[in-house]
Amino acid sequence: MDKLKIGIIGAGYIGGLHASVLVLDDRVAIAGVYDVIAERAAKLARSSGATVFDSADRLIDSVDAVYIATPNTKHTELALAAIAKGKHVFCEKPMATALDDARAVLDAARPSETVFQVGHNRRFAPVYQTLKRMISEGSAPHSAHIKMNRGELIEPEWVRDPQVTGGFLYETTIHMFDMVRFLFGEVIRLDAIGTSHEYPETDDFSVLLTFESGFHATLASSADAGWMFPFERVEVFCHHRTIVTREMESITCSEGLDGRSITHSMHKLSKEEKWGYTQEDRAFVDAILSGASAAVTATDGYRSVELVDACYRAVRTCEPVRFA
C-alpha cells in the first residue's frame, strides 16, 4: 500500500515535534515541508527525508494530508486552503483567533469527506485520560479548580504580539478551555475578571464556569508567573474524594477521610507520549486510513475558540456570557 503523504507547514518547534513522531510511523511519509524561513524548512526536510517546497499552495497540492504548525493567526487561511483542495488537515491549536474565522473553518470542514483534527493534545495525555476515567468512576464530582500559568510571553518571540497570537488566552489557556469541555461537558455561563501587569495585553485572568450539568469550576491563568512546577493543574472535588493532576507528570486521588491517597506517575514515558503528541498523531493517521471521524473535531476547535472569545468579552464588558 502507498504511504500516506504528509506535508508540514511551519518548521518550528511543534512542526519538528510532529515530524519526529510521524517519521516513526511506517504508514506515512513526510513528503514536504514549507516555512517562510527557507533554512528552517531545509533543516526539517533533511531530518525527515522530505522535499522543501517554496509555497504553501504547492505543498498542499502535492500531499494527502497537511499539518498546520504556523503561529496562531496564520491557521485559518491555511486550513481553509487545504480543506478546499480536499486534503486531510491537522491544525494546531487554536483553530482560529476570532469567532468568525472559527465558524468559517467549521463550516468548511463539516461537510467535507476528509479528516480535520485540531491539536488539543492534552486530551490524549495519559494524566488526563486517567482523570477522565476516574471522574466517570466512583462518586460524581461537584466542582473543580483549574490553573494554567505561563512563565513568560518572551519565547518564541511572536508570543508577545497579540496580533500574531490572537491574545494570551488563544496561545496558552485555550488548552484548558478545551480540557474543561472534555472533562465536564458544555459550559452554559462564563464570568471573568482580567487585568494587565507585565504585558500591554490582558495577562492575568480569574474565570468562573457553570456547566449544563450544574457542575462549576474556577480557572486561573497568568501569563508571567514563572515556570514553577506544576504550571498546569486540575483539582476535582467529589464526595470525600479529591483528584489532582500535576502538568502531564502525575495524578493523585485521595479516597475517604483518613488522608490516604494513590499517585500514578507518568515519569517513565517520553515527553511525546506524556503530552499526548504521539497518540494524537497516531489518531489522525488512524482516522484517515480507517475512514473514521477525527478524535478532536472542528466543532471542538470552534467551541474552544468560542470560550476564549467569551472570556475576553466578559472581561471587556464586566458582564457574564451565557451560551444558548
Ligand X SMILES: NC(=O)c1ccc[n+]([C@@H]2O[C@H](COP(=O)([O-])OP(=O)(O)OC[C@H]3O[C@@H](n4cnc5c(N)ncnc54)[C@H](O)[C@@H]3O)[C@@H](O)[C@H]2O)c1
Compute the CA torsion angle 42, 47, 48, 50 (nearest 10 deg): 30
Compute the CA torsion angle 126, 128, 132, 135 (nearest 10 deg): 110
Closer to ligand X by Cβ: residue 44 or 207? 44
Provide the minimum distance between the beta carbon of 147 and ligand X in the complex, in angstroms, as a whole number: 17
Provide the minimum distance between the beta carbon of 35 and ligand X in the complex, in angstroms, as a whole number: 4
Grid coordinates of 50: 522530505
Provide the minimum distance between the beta carbon of 155 and ligand X in the complex, in angstroms, as a whole number: 9
Identify the CA nearest to 22 among candidates 284, 288, 289. Answer: 284
Closer to ligand X by Cβ: residue 141 or 166? 166
Neighbours of 142 (CB within 10 A): 13
| Residue ranges that bind ligand X, judged by CB under 6 A | 9-15, 34-37, 40, 56, 69-72, 74, 92-93, 119, 121, 156, 158, 171
Provide the minimum distance between the beta carbon of 27 and ligand X in the complex, in angstroms, as a whole number: 22
Please confirm whether the linkage preceding 200 is cis (ω < 30° from 0). Answer: no
Closer to ligand X by Cβ: residue 171 or 191? 171
Provide the minimum distance between the beta carbon of 97 and ligand X in the complex, in angstroms, as a whole number: 9
Grid coordinates of 27: 504508514
Provide the minimum distance between the beta carbon of 9 and ligand X in the complex, in angstroms, as a whole number: 5
Closer to ligand X by Cβ: residue 128 or 211? 128
269 within 8 A of 173, measured Cβ to Cβ: no
Closer to ligand X by Cβ: residue 11 or 288? 11
User: What angle, 0 to 180 degrees and rounded to 10, lies between the N-to-C axes of helices 38-48 and 13-22?
Assistant: 20
DSSP run (H or E) holding 290: helix 277-290
Closer to ligand X by Cβ: residue 68 or 244? 68
Closer to ligand X by Cβ: residue 87 or 93? 93
* Bridge partners, 238 (sequence order): 141, 241
Count Cβ neighbours within 10 Å for each residue of 64-85 and write b for 16 or more, e otherwise: bbbbbbbbbbbbbbbbbbbbee
Closer to ligand X by Cβ: residue 161 or 255? 161
Residue nearest to ligand X (CB): 12
143 within 8 A of 117, measured Cβ to Cβ: no
Provide the minimum distance between the beta carbon of 212 and ligand X in the complex, in angstroms, as a whole number: 26
Provide the minimum distance between the beta carbon of 189 and ligand X in the complex, in angstroms, as a whole number: 27
Tell me which DSSP letter residue 260 carries: -
Neighbours of 3 (CB within 10 A): 13
Closer to ligand X by Cβ: residue 84 or 140? 84
Identify the CA nearest to 6 among candidates 49, 54, 55, 70. Answer: 49
109 within 8 A of 86, measured Cβ to Cβ: no
Provide the minimum distance between the beta carbon of 304 and ligand X in the complex, in angstroms, as a whole number: 12
